[in-house]
Amino acid sequence: MNADPTTHDAGGRGGPLAGRLVVDLSRALAGPHAGMMLGDLGARVIKVETPGTGDDTRGWGPPFVGPEDDRQSTYFLSCNRNKESIALDLKSEDGRGVLTELLRRADVVIENFRTGVLDRLGFSTDAMLALNPGLVILSITGFGHDGPEAKRSGYDQIVQGEAGLMSLTGADPENPQRVGVPIADLLSGMYGAYGAVAALLERERTGRGQVVRTSLLASIIGVHAFQGTRTTVAGEVPQAQGNHHPSIAPYGLFSCRGGKVQISVGSEKLWAAFTTAFGIDATRPEFATNADRVGHRDLLIGVIEDAFSAYGAEPLLEKLNAAGIPAGKVRTLDEVYAWEQVHSQGLLTTVQHPVLGDIDLPGAPLRFFDGPVETTLTEHAAPPLLDGDGEAIRAWLARPVAEDVRA
Residue 161 in this model has a pLDDT that exceeds 50: yes
Residue pLDDT, tens place only, 104-156: 999 999 999 988 899 999 999 999 999 999 999 999 999 999 999 999 988 99
93 and 182 share a domain?
yes
Distance CA 212, CA 95 (A): 25
Q: What percent of the chain has pLDDT over 90?
A: 89
Residue 10: inside a domain: no
Residue 185 annotated in active site = yes
Q: Are residues 159 and 68 in the same domain?
A: yes
In a domain, 244, yes or no: no
Q: Among residues 40, 55, 107, 185, which one is catalytic?
A: 185
Residue 8 lies in a domain: no
Q: What is the pLDDT of residues 279-313, one digit of tens each?
A: 999 999 999 999 999 999 999 999 999 999 999 99
Q: What is the pLDDT of residues 197-227, one digit of tens each?
A: 999 999 999 999 999 999 999 999 999 999 9
Question: In whole numbers, what is the pLDDT of the chain averaged over residues?
Answer: 93
Residue 216 and residue 302 in one domain: no
Residues 324 and 199 both lie in one domain = no
Q: Report yes or no: 325 and 277 within 8 Å, Cβ to Cβ.
A: yes
Is the pLDDT at 7 greater than 70? The verdict is no
pTM, to two decimals = 0.91
Write down which residue in 328, 358, 384 finishes a domain: 328
Q: How far is CA 345 from the centre of its chain?
A: 17
Identify the sign of the CA torsion 291, 292, 297, 301.
negative
The residue out of 328, 362, 385 marking a domain boundary is 328
Q: Who contacts 342 (Cβ-Cβ below 8 Å, separation ≥6)?
A: 336, 348
Residues 78 and 118 both lie in one domain: yes
How distant, in Å, are the alpha carbons of 24, 101, 187, 269, 331 from that of 82? 12, 21, 19, 46, 28
CATH of the domain at 53: 3.40.50.10540
* Pair type for strands 357-362 and 348-353: antiparallel
Q: What is the CATH number of the domain that holds 265?
A: 3.30.1540.10
Predicted confidence band of residue 407 (pLDDT cuts 50, 70, 90): very low
Shared domain check, 203 and 256: no
Q: Are strands 84-87 and 44-49 parallel, antiparallel or unpaired?
A: parallel
The verdict on 48 and 188 lying in the same domain is yes
Is the residue at 5 inside a domain? no
State which residues form the domain around 309: 251-328
Tens digit of pLDDT for each residue in 233-280? 999 999 999 999 999 999 999 999 999 999 999 999 999 999 999 999
**End residue of a domain, out of 295, 328, 361:** 328
What is the pLDDT, as a whole number, of residue 116?
86
In angstroms, the CA 100 to CA 285 distance is 71
Query: How far apart (Å, rounded) are the C-alpha atoms in residues 383 and 194?
Result: 22
Calpha distance 389→205 (Å, rounded): 34
> How many separate domains does the chain show?
2
- The verdict on 121 and 150 lying in the same domain is yes
- pLDDT tens digits for range 350-403: 999 999 999 999 999 998 998 888 877 778 999 999 999 999 999 999 987 754
270 is a domain residue: yes
Q: Note whether 351 and 358 are within 8 A (CB).
A: yes
Q: Are residues 354 and 289 in the same domain?
A: no
